Structures are given as structure tokens and as C-alpha cells.
């Protein structure tokens, strides 16, 4: 029996624009049905591009539309949890951009609302679907690295221009740095790592504690001074609570050590993500600069050469590309065959396809509400840890049925 396409409403016309080409009608399983944005001009621009598209400037009116099956939340980050909860209670499935929630209370409410409604909630963490991430995941699942003991994840992206409007007033990103001190955007850093470790699988490991630290806040202060003058409040000492770099040390129940870093205000060349994996039989490091390769070393497979200073042969790094043909994801092979997809375009497409498939198959999506909760709660817990001088803070077990009363 042929199923009707999933009728999707996008919330947030700016960020949501990244999904335009994916939802322009090429996939018969998903139909772009509505756009919602506070700005009438943005709604009008979308409707001009997609004749017949329903347009809303009021989110509640979108949720009242019976023709909408699901929403894609591409709104400012601090709205995600409340908007997702309202959509689920209105009978809509939810695909949410990152992060899922920014307070522990909202995180719990989101988990409980998904459980109560039985609807599909998926976190749109596209870094889990990057091609290299999926290759490393398959290698880890097949045991090439042995037992995983240490991992690193970093989201490092100079976005100082995005913290303010032309007049210097703060955007939501700026307000985030002004009002909070912690790891404020953790899911790009933790998402791929969590999948490599198999966190959340039945009988698997889970995050146990988090300790957070931040550097002094210098970069944004200097940026505002140079751009808007020394008299601007944001150019003065003490204005920004968030430091330039935020680092968290996490330990899993089985003792695996994980280091996360988030920095989107330091001045530096573009290099959005950095990852590393250490196992008992191998290791992986992502490229640090454009033009470099991701590297792996596998005991017994990678070449051995004498070091320049002499002595016994030592292992040598190899390009990850050497292993891609054997461990490449079938999802990316299909994308390449169909459309030559690449970059975020490919990973975003895989996210949307998985969301639609989970609804169609009446199953949990690959990145479900429990993943979303565990990864996103790093933000509020890191704030608590910072307030306590970096002291370890327990990570709740969102999957336990009797869990909340003990938190």
C-alpha cells in the first residue's frame, strides 16, 4: 500500500533554509507543507519560492493546522525544548535542530512528553551522519580499534559575527554567551563519539559524570571593542559570562574518559570539528587543517617503520581514506550514486530520511529523545559544574523508568 508523504512544517526560515533543496519535492516521501517565522517578509519569501506553501507567523496556528504531520524546529536554540513539547502535545512528530534543551527541567519534560504521546522525536545532529564519522563508527563496531578507552570531540568555529545584529545588539547566540557559563553547544562534539562508544544501547555504557572548565573571556570583548568602540558594554570586563573555550571531562560508567571542547568565539581559521579516538588496538584523529587527511592507526595492519632517530620500527599513521572503501556507509554510497551529495547537504538529507522512515515504520529514530537528553544535558550540567569550581556532576539516566525521583 502506498503511503501518503509526510507533510512537514519548518519553524525558522533562516536556519530552515538549509533544508530547502532537500524538501523541494525530490523525495516523494516528504512534502514541504508550511513555513513558520516571526518575520512576515521571510514567510512571504518562502511562499514566493514554493507556491501553495502555507505560511504562519504564529507558531500556535501552525500547530492547529491538521494538515501538518510533523515539524522541523530550526528556530533559535533556547526555544527548541518548549516548541518541541508543544508540538508533541498537539499531535505532531518533531525533528529538532540542536541542542534539544538548555535546562535539566525542560530535558526531563521533553523525555516524558515523548513517552506519553508515543510520537517520533529525533534530534537533527548531522555530525553523526558525516561520512568520516560513519566510517569510524563501522570500524569501531567491528572491533578494529579494540576496546575504546579515550575520545575527544571539539566544535571550533569562529562565529563572532553571528552574536550581534548590525547595530551591536545581541542575537540569541550573543545572549547565550552573556548569560551562561558552560559547554553551551555540546551535541556536535559528543554526538559522533556517543555513537562510536555505543552509548545508550541495551546493556551498553552511559555517561556518568561531567566536570567543566572555561578559559577567560577575551575574544568577544576585543571583537566588540574593535567593531563598536571601547564604550560598548560588551567591550568591558565582566560582560560575558561564557569563556572563549569551554572544556568538559566526562567519564562513563565503564571508566572511558571523554574530553569535549566548544569554542565559537575565538579568532582562528575555519575548522569546525576535531575528533580523536584511542583504543587498545588502534587510534583515529580527524584532520586539523583544510587539505589534510583524517588519520588512523591499526595494530597489525598499519605500516611499521624505524623512527628517524633509529631503533625498533614504530607504527605509522595512515589516511582514513584507505579504509573507506571497505567500511564506508551504505547510506553515503547510495547518496553518491543518486546525486553526488556531499558535506552537510548529504548529512542533512540522511537525517531527514531517517526521521521520515522512523515515522513510517513506527519505530524509534536513530537519534532518539534519550540520546538528545543525554547529549544536551551536558550544557546545564556543565553550568552547575562551573559554579562548583569544576566539581564532577552526575549525569541522569534518562532511560530508567524509576529515574526521575532519584535525581
Parts of the chain with a pLDDT under 50: 1, 26, 341-344
Predicted pLDDT at 340? 53
Predicted pLDDT at 1? 43
Q: Considering only CA atoms, which of 301, 322, 305 is closest in space to residue 314? A: 305
Beta-strand (E) ranges in 157-311? 207-214, 246-252, 257-263, 273-279, 282-285, 295-298, 304-305
Predicted pLDDT at 292? 86
Predicted pLDDT at 309? 81
Q: Are 216 and 243 in contact (CB under 8 A)?
A: yes
Q: Return the axis-axis angle of helices 369-376 and 104-117, rounded to nearest 10°.
A: 180
d(CA 282, CA 302) in angstroms, rounded, equals 9
Pick 6-126's CATH classification: 1.10.8.50, 3.40.50.10890, 3.40.50.720, 2.40.440.10: 3.40.50.720
Note the pTM of the prediction, 2 decimals: 0.94
* 190 Cβ neighbours under 8 A, 6+ residues apart: 153, 250, 258, 260, 375, 378
Place of cell 555504557: 205
Residues linked to residue 55 through DSSP beta bridges, in sequence order: 35
- What are the domain boundaries of the chain? 6-126, 128-329+368-406
Pick 128-329+368-406's CATH classification: 3.20.130.10, 3.30.360.10, 3.10.580.10, 1.10.3470.10: 3.30.360.10
Predicted pLDDT at 20? 77
Predicted pLDDT at 342? 44
Q: Considering only CA atoms, which of 8, 55, 56, 60 is closest in space to residue 29? A: 8
Distances (CA, A) of 240 to 129, 218, 306: 33, 9, 50
Amino acid at each position: 500500500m502506498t503511503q501518503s508523504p509526510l507533510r512537514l512544517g519548518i519553524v525558522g526560515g533562516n536556519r530552515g533554509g538549509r533544508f530547502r533543496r532537500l524538501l523541494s519535492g525530490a523525495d516523494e516521501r516528504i512534502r514541504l507543507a508550511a513555513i513558520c517565522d516571526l518575520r512576515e517578509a521571510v514567510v512571504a519569501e518562502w511562499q514566493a519560492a514554493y507556491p501553495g506553501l502555507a505560511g504562519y507567523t504564529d507558531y500556535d496556528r501552525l500547530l492547529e493546522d491538521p494538515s501538518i504531520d510533523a515539524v522541523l524546529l530550526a528556530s533559535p536554540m533556547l526555544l527548541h525544548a518548549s516548541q518541541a513539547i508543544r508540538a508533541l502535545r498537539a499531535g505532531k512528530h518533531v525533528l529538532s535542530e540542536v541542542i534539544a534543551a538548555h535546562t535539566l527541567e525542560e530535558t526531563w519534560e521533553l523525555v516524558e512528553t515523548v513517552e506519553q504521546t508515543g510520537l517520533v522525536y529525533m534530534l537533527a545532529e548531522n555530525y553523526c551522519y558525516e561520512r568520516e564519522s560513519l566510517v569510524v563508527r563501522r570500524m569501531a563496531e567491528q572491533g578494529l580499534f579494540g576496546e575504546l578507552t579515550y575520545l575527544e570531540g571539539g566544535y571550533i568555529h569562529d562565529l563572532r559575527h553571528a552574536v550581534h545584529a548590525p547595530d551591536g545588539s545581541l542575537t540569541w547566540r550573543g545572549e547565550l554567551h552573556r548569560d551562561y557559563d558552560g559547554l553551551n553547544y555540546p551535541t556536535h562534539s559528543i554526538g559522533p563519539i556517543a555513537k562510536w562508544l555505543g552509548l545508550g544501547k541495551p546493556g551498553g555504557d552511559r555517561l556518568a559524570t561531567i566536570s567543566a572548565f572555561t578559559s577567560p573571556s577575551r575574544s568577544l570583548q576585543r571583537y566588540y571593542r574593535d567593531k563598536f568602540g571601547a564604550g560598548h558594554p560588551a567591550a568591558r570586563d565582566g560582560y560575558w559570562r561564557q569563556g572563549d573555550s569551554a572544556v568538559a571531562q566526562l567519564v562513563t560508567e565503564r571508566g572511558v574518559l571523554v574530553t569535549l571542547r566548544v569554542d565559537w568565539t575565538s579568532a582562528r581559521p575555519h575548522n569546525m570539528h576535531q575528533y580523536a579516538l584511542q583504543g587498545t588496538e588502534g587510534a583515529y584523529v580527524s584532520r586539523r587543517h583544510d587539505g589534510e587527511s583524517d588519520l588512523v592507526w591499526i595494530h597489525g595492519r598499519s605500516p611499521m617503520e624505524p623512527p628517524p632517530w633509529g631503533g625498533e620500527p614504530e607504527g605509522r599513521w595512515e589516511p582514513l581514506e584507505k579504509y573507506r572503501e571497505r567500511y564506508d556507509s551504505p547510506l553515503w554510497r547510495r547518496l553518491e550514486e543518486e546525486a553526488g551529495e556531499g558535506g552537510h547537504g548529504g548529512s542533512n538529507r540522511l537525517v531527514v530520511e531517517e526521521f521520515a522512515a522512523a515515522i513510517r515504520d513506527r519505530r524509534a529514530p536513530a537519534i532518539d529523545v534519550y540520546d538528545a537528553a543525554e547529549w544536551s544535558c551536558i550544557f546545564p550540567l556543565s553550568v552547575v559544574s562551573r559554579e562548583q569550581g569544576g566539581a564532577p556532576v552526575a549525569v541522569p539516566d534518562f532511560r530508567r523508568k524509576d529515574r526521575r525521583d532519584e535525581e
